Amino acid sequence: MKKEYFLKPGDTIGICAPSARFDLQKFNDGVQVIKDLGYRVTIPKEIFEKKRYLAGDDILRANVINQLFSDPEIDGIICARGGFGAMKLLNYLNWELIKKKPKIFIGFSDISSLLLSIVDKTGNIVIHGPTIVSLADAHEKTLEAFQNTIQGRLGEIEIQNGKIFKSGQCTGVLKGGNISTISHLLGTQFQPDFHNTILFLEDIGEPAYKIDRMLSQMKMAGMFKTIAGVITGSFEKCDNVDYIVEILLEIFQEYNIPVITGLNAGHGNVNLALPMGMDIKISIEKDIATQRETVKINWI
């Protein structure tokens, strides 16, 4: 991760609203969290526009992002919330500008379409992490990881209670995000490139059969043929969550790659900020005495 991506206290973070309209109280509370962490905040007036369930029309929402990337006074960008709408902006973003003026771009859930497209179109690093409204009542572990990650302090992550389908180690570029969002990029010019990727997956409110259907479609389209490994975050409020572990094994077992669950990232109580577009190494260590396996994630 290059130095120019890092933020430091006193830097200015601009807020965009690529997706759904947001609750004003949660928004204000989240902005205060950013300020309490030591950052200045710029809030474009356009993000308070409304069009149906969206925070304004598509071109307006895209232009806010373009303007924040072009503004030399803005050091990083965070999304107000997810929901739906981010993928509708992809054709209106100035990709050459975003490539030439790299800045930390932060969000998750529906924002996954922007995160993946920025990585693939520009090679820039992005942060899969909290939005403004989710920061409003974020767990202290979420806040700690958020602060450390946007400042470039990338420590080792351990997963002690996850499920491991294949021991060993793997290296690759961390990419991924919300399964539902990724599946709707299939067949478009913004379909993600998962070559040599350690694929991160999470979702919320989806029953197991829908998770199965979306992953099966992506598999049939060949999206998983050259991935290096899979690591999953939370599956919050997903029916038959025990089935999801079985589904993951069935989908990925033929590739003979590590598949690991249990990373605290996504829509769960803890949402660890993860830099995407960076190379990572996943290793699995077994304690001889207890026979317990621990997953360790390190940034390369």
pLDDT in tens, 135-162: 999 999 999 999 999 999 999 999 877 8
- Closest residue by Cα to residue 65 from 36, 33, 42, 40: 42
Question: How many residues can be counted in the chain?
Answer: 300
Between 168 and 290, residue with greater pLDDT: 168
Whole-number mean pLDDT of the chain?
Answer: 94
pLDDT tens per residue across span 79-95: 999 999 999 999 999 99
Class of domain 3-150: alpha beta
| CA 164 to chain CA mean position, Å | 22
Task: State how far the Cα of 80 lies from the Cα of 17, in Å rounded to an integer.
Answer: 5
Contact 120, 98 (CB under 8 A): no
Q: Could you give the count of Cα atoms lying within 13 Å of 32 in the half-sphere of its Cβ?
A: 9
CA-CA distance, 77 to 172, in Å (whole number)? Answer: 26
Confidence band of 262 (pLDDT split at 50, 70, 90): very high
CA separation for the pair 47, 9 (Å, rounded): 24
Q: Which of 128, 183, 234, 267 is catalytic?
A: 267
Report the helix count and the strand count for the chain, using DSSP H and E: 9, 13
Query: What angle (nearest 5°) sits at the alpha carbon of residue 131, between those of residues 192 and 163?
Result: 60
- The C-alpha atoms of residue 270 and residue 1 are separated, in whole angstroms, by 24
On whether the CB atoms of residues 117 and 126 are closer than 8 A, the answer is no
Q: Exactly one of 19, 109, 112, 134 is catalytic; which is it? A: 109
Cα end-to-end span (Å), the chain: 9
For the question of residue 156 being annotated catalytic, the response is no
Please state the domain extents for the chain.
3-150, 157-299
pLDDT value, residue 166:
73
Query: Does the annotation mark 134 as catalytic?
Result: no
Alpha-carbon distance 55 to 40, whole Å? Answer: 23
pTM above 0.85, yes or no: yes
Helix (H, G, I), strand (E, B) or coil at 7: coil
Verify whether residue 202 is a known catalytic residue: yes
CATH superfamily for 157-299 is LD-carboxypeptidase A C-terminal domain-like (3.50.30.60)
204 exposure class (CB count in 10 Å sphere: 0-12, 13-18, 19+):
middle
Residue 2 pLDDT greater than 60, yes or no: no
Per-residue model confidence (pLDDT) at position 4 = 63
Q: How far apart are CA 112 and CA 53, in angstroms?
A: 18
Quick check: 3 pLDDT over 60? no
Q: What is the pLDDT of residue 77?
A: 98
Q: Which residues pair with 281 in a beta bridge?
A: 171, 298
Instruction: Give the tens place of pLDDT for each residue, 6-49.
Output: 899 999 999 999 999 999 999 999 999 999 999 999 999 999 99
> How many whole angstroms separate alpha carbon 69 and alpha carbon 3?
17
- Taking the C-alpha atoms of residue 134 and residue 128, their distance in angstroms, rounded to an integer, is 13
**Which tokens belong to 279?**
């190379």
Q: What is the rounded average pLDDT of the residues 217-221?
A: 97
The closest alpha carbon to 66, from 118, 135, 24, 129, belongs to 118
Instruction: Out of 184, 202, 206, 234, pick the active-site residue.
Output: 202
CA distance 63 to 108: 20
Per-residue pLDDT tens digits for 159-209: 877 888 876 789 999 999 999 999 999 999 999 999 999 999 999 999 999
Strand partners, 260: 164, 231
